[in-house]
A and B are shown apart, each in its own frame.
Chain A
Amino acid sequence: MSGGPGIVVQRWSPLSIGAMSCLGALLVLLAFGPFYLGPYLTDRLTTLLIYVIMAAMWNALAGYGGLVSVGQQAFFGLGAYAAIRLSHAGLEAYLALILAPLLVGLVSVPLSTFALRLQGGEFAIGMWVFAELAHLLVNLDGLVQGETGTSLIALSAFAPDTRRALNYWLALAVMTVLVAAVFLLLRSRVGASIQAIRDNQEAAASVGVRVMATKCLIFVLAAVGCAAAGALTLATLISFQPKTYFSVQWTAYMIFMTLVGGLGTFEGPVLGAVIFFAIETFFGGSGVWYLVGLGACALLFSLFLPRGIWGALRDRFGIALMPVGYRLQFRPRAGKAAT
Chain B
Amino acid sequence: MIWADQIVQGIFLGGYYALIACGLSFMFGVLRIINLAHGSIAVLSAYLVWMLADRWNVSPFLALVAIVPAMAAAGWLLQRTVLERSLRSGALTPLLSTFGLAVMLDNLLFEKFGADTRSLAPNIGDLAFNSWTVGGGVTIGQLALLTFGVALALLGGLQLFLNRTPLGRAIRATAEDADTAELVGIDSRRVYAAAAAIAIATVAIAGTFLGMRATFDPYTGPAQLIFAFEAIVIGGTGSLWGTLIGGIVLGVAQNLGSQVSPRGFLIAGHAVFFVVLAARFVLAGRDPRTLFGALRRAPI
Q: B97 and A303: CB pair below 8 A?
A: yes
Of the residues A122, A130, A296, A303, contact of B295 by C-beta under 8 Å: A122
Chain B residues, CB < 8 A from A252: 99, 103
Interface of A is mostly: helix
Stretch at the interface among A18-26, A43-51, A111-119, A272-280: A111-119
Q: How far is the CA of A300 from the CA of B99 in the complex (A)?
A: 11
Of the residues B103, B271, B291, contact of A295 by C-beta under 8 Å: B103
Q: A303 and B86: CB pair below 8 A?
A: yes
- For residue A181, CB closer than 8 A to chain B, the reply is no
Give the residues from 208 to 260 in chain B that come closer than 8 angstroms, CB to CB, to chain A. Answer: 222, 225-226, 229-230, 233
Q: B34 and A117: CB pair below 8 A?
A: no
Q: How far is the CA of A300 from the CA of B89 in the complex (A)?
A: 13
Q: B263 and A129: CB pair below 8 A?
A: no
Interface of B is mostly: helix
Chain A residues, CB < 8 A from B108: 292
Question: Closest approach, in angstroms, between the C-beta of B101 and any C-beta of chain A?
Answer: 5
A124 in contact with B292 given A296-B100, A299-B100 (CB within 8 Å): no
Question: Closest approach, in angstroms, between the C-beta of A149 and any C-beta of chain B?
Answer: 16
- For residue A236, CB closer than 8 A to chain B, the reply is no
Of the residues B34, B99, B271, contact of A298 by C-beta under 8 Å: B99
Q: A114 and B277: CB pair below 8 A?
A: yes
Give the residues from 102 to 140 in chain A that come closer than 8 angstroms, CB to CB, to chain B. Answer: 114, 117-122, 124-126, 128-130, 132-133, 136-137, 139-140
Instruction: Encode contact with B along A139-167: 1 for CB under 8 Å, 0 otherwise.
Output: 11000000000000000000000000000
Stretch at the interface among A62-70, A79-87, A312-320, A323-331: A62-70
Give the residues from 38 to 55 in chain B that come closer than 8 angstroms, CB to CB, to chain A. Answer: none
Q: B95 and A120: CB pair below 8 A?
A: yes
Of the residues A117, A121, A299, A306, contact of B288 by C-beta under 8 Å: A117
Of the residues B100, B106, B292, contact of A255 by C-beta under 8 Å: B100
- A121, A140, A299 — which one has the most chain B CB atoms within 10 A of its CB? A121
Of the residues A68, A130, A132, A248, contact of B92 by C-beta under 8 Å: A68
- For residue A178, CB closer than 8 A to chain B, the reply is no
Q: How far is the CA of A300 from the CA of B81 in the complex (A)?
A: 11
Chain A residues, CB < 8 A from B90: 306
Q: B103 and A298: CB pair below 8 A?
A: yes
Chain B residues, CB < 8 A from A122: 34, 233, 292, 295
| Size bin of chain B's contact surface | 35 or more
- For residue B140, CB closer than 8 A to chain A, the reply is no
Of the residues A124, A248, A259, contact of B222 by C-beta under 8 Å: A248
Chain A residues, CB < 8 A from B229: 125, 129
Q: How far is the CA of A37 from the CA of B21 in the complex (A)?
A: 53
Give the residues from 68 to 105 in chain B that come closer than 8 angstroms, CB to CB, to chain A. Answer: 82, 85-86, 89-97, 99-105
- Nearest first, the 3 A-B pairs at minimum CB distance are A121-B34, A298-B100, A295-B103
Show 26 A/B contacts (Cβ-Cβ < 8 Å), sorted by A. A114-B277, A117-B281, A117-B288, A121-B36, A121-B95, A122-B34, A122-B295, A125-B36, A125-B225, A128-B222, A129-B226, A133-B267, A133-B271, A136-B267, A255-B96, A263-B96, A288-B110, A289-B107, A292-B108, A296-B100, A297-B100, A298-B96, A298-B100, A299-B101, A302-B100, A303-B86
Q: Which chain B residues have a beta carbon within 8 Å of chain A's beta carbons?
A: 28, 33-34, 36, 82, 85-86, 89-97, 99-108, 110-111, 222, 225-226, 229-230, 233, 263, 266-267, 270-271, 273-274, 277-278, 281, 288, 291-292, 295
- Besides A121-B33, A125-B34, 14 new A-B residue pairs in contact (Cβ under 8 A), listed by A number: A70-B95, A117-B291, A122-B34, A122-B295, A125-B226, A125-B229, A126-B233, A136-B270, A255-B100, A289-B111, A295-B100, A295-B101, A299-B100, A306-B90
Q: Which chain A residues have a beta carbon within 8 Å of chain B's beta carbons?
A: 62, 66, 68, 70, 114, 117-122, 124-126, 128-130, 132-133, 136-137, 139-140, 248, 252, 255, 259, 263, 288-289, 291-292, 294-303, 306
